[in-house]
A and B are shown apart, each in its own frame.
Chain A
């Protein structure tokens, strides 16, 4: 049962930022509420003041800007799951969104809410990193853009200042002869292991390889040491490199033993999902000129 709180409905980022600054720790941004309302109902945390960002025009929307995908922080998972532009130009993103939680959470939950609540067992924060996505963070009078990877500080913790709002995620297109893929594993309500890859081929070689692992560690992270194993390899001789990259990424993921499984098993799964996501990405490249 929720304890009472004040709701304010600013109509601009500046107004929202001002409200957050004024109320400090007692205030929290409220978008879809699919995670925030749960922990408040559970009594784990209480905010005197919720700042509704859905009343700020311009935060919801999916636009394609010269091939770059601009995702409003307040757009729902279902919007990206079903948007023709996303499905055509960023099919991996649409597929990932289609498997987030259940259809009701996807109808209401937003990208900004998912990323800023920063529950370790989540999907968008992992996949979007392999697109080198950036996050646009605004507050009254100023704005900054950071790599999405930098947003996550720890479980349930981001780098946002008290009066800052995440307003947009910008997803640049992959180069030609590229494709991304995301696979996850687990049988509980939240995923146990998530691996994203983006592969670029050039003249039969791996021109670029990007790998991100989520759900296993405290935050979703790019695995650059593992990526180095694959860059430059002939596409037909990546077997050994993928195995090594899988081991490196598995260890670097900082797995722990918990309800989702043992650390050892999670590390193993990182390797398995990496190879399968890799194969899926290559198949996508072969399937069409650019994905």
Chain B
């Protein structure tokens, strides 16, 4: 269906959830109250690594209002350990504490106040063990094994092939090689090498994790702030040895996620406590506890590039090390993807990639918007600017020369490039005024990156129900965490069915009602769940047309639904009339089902990507030479969305992603002092605020309707985060001549680099 004849898709209709959110009527898990609700609080380890000697809970158990005080052994579970990649994380620390902040004892009481008071009476005796609180320490020869043996969870096909390195703290080792490295290095006119560091970050979505769990009969119901209702259902089924059908996971609106609410976190603990006290239990974390639950991976990248004098990339070697913390969570997949995407969106004949996911005694690291791309792009794109400078080439020209073209292969077996990267970069450069004269002391930089979007081997199923009154229910497991997926699915349904947008309602995910969905992450939902919903809508539409054909005595193939009605000659029937006409009463419905199952292919990750999510960024900055403070004047972000289902929401996603890139570029980072998180809350951990909005923040949407998703759509959720740091970094270099290799580029780091440059000592990176 050509874009011009679209009536609902491609239009900036208001969000379905906007009115509730602007009137305060929107309800989140943290607003849920149930009769007899009990409250849980968690005693967390102050030390990063220790052997538990004894948990002393009697005094707490006797405190007023306390219903139960549980250590690991007291939890009524069949399986204590969980995890999407490895089953390595205990619901409560068991025999060994592996990170500072790890839950060790849980208190359940009739009120939050009683639970909080009883918490102070819990004591745990432990013997401290040596802790490895950085990837370097954990890789050192003398480091103790944080997990002597690890058991694969077997939940995800792509994770069945994980390759830990026995006898080390490496829980996933991804390696890929092609071409003749020695030969390429010889042919090169220039070989550049650098080490780049990206800090650990806290997600700090504004709604902290919250779970309400209730055990009823022999089943279990959990309301959770999760992006993965179905994987959580599977994990809970394993923990309690229940059939999947007996576990119900419901996810209302979520107050921001960004990957921090992927997979299983505190759900098993809340459920186990509910099972123990036989009352519904609410476990709501504070912002500080959130920061001690999940983080973005701190990453170091050693990257070497061989290039000819005219700027043709011959070879690239990337050694990527990710600190995945005490428990793997989804770290092994992030490490694999980080490695896979490290070379960048370029035609590079010879590659050697090595990515290691390393256990440490830090807070576990998992998914975070961009999934490894911002970390490796900081390295790869910064180095492209080093090359441009050393060869005297324009950074834009150097990139355009090497960017993969539509149809070219990134890696043998993976989906050919499905977008026009050069067009995107050129539009970005134009928008920032790349060739315009620069005011004195200012600088411009740009960067581009790409990720295999849509998740790996991810599948979605959806149901579209046309009710007897013509209103439509969409049952889809996609979670609304603010990205606007419900609105997008409603637009896709209305467009495909030919019914008014206002008649479509999208249900909240509920694993006992909405069909299976792999999960809401990797920018996949609009594309993959979109295809499932589109197929379900077509299925329902065909059924209605068949019913109408008999009622109108016409050929079904001749009929179509427009604005909720079917016209045939001078006669017309509404969809409602068709359905009730068919059932001969006011009730009845037509139900369509659709699903998306990924094709089989060999690709380096054992599966071809559904689409490529490319992101481009360009920045213009000024620099206060005395304080080192970088002032971001202009940031342009380009996103190839294929076909925007809702243009305003697509641009909004990209602007929000860019702002989440500005944080770690300039000031945002976790400060880890030997395993202790020094800045857990928002007083000492700086997230971007209103005053960080640059005078110009612009998103360029590239729409060539060339995506695999409905109406040519692709995913857009993450690309805005990819390029901010390297674009600002190279703008800093153009403005001042200094180049930083470690984020964030705080004023003090810039000041030190400027001072070192003045004193003539070699700028740190050009070894």
Contacts and interface: CB of A to CB of B under 8 A. Distances in A.
B627 A259 contact: no
B289 to A, nearest CB: 13
A190 B748 contact: no
A262 B748 contact: yes
Nearest to A121: B683
Given A259-B679, A265-B751, A189 B684 contact: yes
B686 interface: yes
B682 interface: yes
A185 B627 CA distance: 9
A263 B746 CA distance: 15
A122 B683 CA distance: 14
B580 interface: no
B751 A188 contact: no
Contacts, number: 34
B626 interface: yes
Contacts of B667: 187
B554 interface: no
A269 B747 CA distance: 11
A272 B686 contact: no
B32 to A, nearest CB: 19
A220 B629 CA distance: 24
Contacts of B752: 265
B112 A272 contact: no
A261 B751 CA distance: 12
Given A1-B116, A261-B748, A262-B748, A269 B686 contact: no
Given A261-B748, A272-B627, A188 B113 contact: no
A187 B627 CA distance: 12
Contact of A259 (B112, B626, B684): B684
A141 B117 CA distance: 41
A140 interface: no
Nearest to B755: A268
Contact of B747 (A1, A187, A190, A259): A187
Contact of B683 (A187, A189, A261, A268): A189
Interface string A115-128: 00000000000000
B759 to A, nearest CB: 14
B684 A188 contact: yes
B683 A269 contact: no
B678 interface: yes
Contacts of A185: 627, 747
Given A189-B684, A259-B671, A272 B747 contact: no
B116 A190 contact: no
Interface residues of A, number: 15
A268 B113 contact: no
Contacts of A261: 746, 748
Nearest to B673: A259
A37 to B, nearest CB: 14
A154 B120 CA distance: 29
Interface string B723-751: 00000000000000000000000111001
Interface string B108-125: 000011001100100000
Contacts of A189: 682-684, 686
A246 B752 CA distance: 18
Contacts of A190: 683
Given A188-B686, A189-B683, A189-B684, A265 B116 contact: no
Interface of A: 1, 3, 43, 185, 187-190, 259, 261-262, 265, 268-269, 272
11 contacts: A1-B113, A187-B666, A187-B747, A189-B682, A189-B683, A189-B686, A190-B683, A259-B684, A265-B748, A269-B627, A272-B627
Interface of B: 112-113, 116-117, 120, 626-627, 666-667, 671, 678-679, 682-684, 686, 746-748, 751-752
Given A190-B683, A259-B684, 20 more contacts: A1-B113, A1-B116, A3-B117, A185-B747, A187-B666, A187-B686, A187-B746, A187-B747, A188-B684, A188-B686, A189-B682, A189-B683, A189-B684, A189-B686, A259-B671, A259-B678, A265-B748, A265-B752, A268-B751, A272-B627
Q: Which 10 A/B pairs are nearest by Cβ-Cβ distance?
A: A187-B667, A265-B748, A272-B626, A189-B683, A261-B748, A1-B116, A188-B686, A187-B686, A259-B684, A1-B113
